[in-house]
Amino acid sequence: MSNDDAWVLALVIGLIAALIVAALLFLLIKACRDIEGSVQGLLDVAGKVAGNTANIPALAATAPVLGKIVDEAIVQDGYMNALTDGFGGK
């Protein structure tokens, strides 16, 4: 192998290595853009979730009145039963 052949071989190997590195960089950039897009989607959803969960503390005010709601439902059920007694073949 002559000196010129060695240089050609070295340049070919260098070119192949540079192409491989360029391809890997392209794939890395593509993966980063995909991740960035996913993160943007997550940030959009996170804002909506935060908006939905902002009212959760207000649910604590519901618990004390549940008993009153049940009591009123029983009263209303009694009224409806009184209205329908004797109807429907009973």
DSSP letter string over 53-90? HTTGGGGGGTGGGHHHHHHHHHHHHHHHHHHHTT-S--
Task: State how far the Cα of 2 lies from the Cα of 10, in Å rounded to an integer.
Answer: 12
Mean pLDDT, 10 residues at a time, the chain of 90 residues: 93 98 98 93 87 82 85 91 72
pLDDT value of residue 90: 52
pLDDT value of residue 88: 62
Instruction: Give the helix, strand, coil percentages of the chain, each rounded to 5.
Output: 90, 0, 10
pLDDT value of residue 85: 81
| pTM of structure | 0.50
Q: 């070295």: which residue's tokens?
A: 10
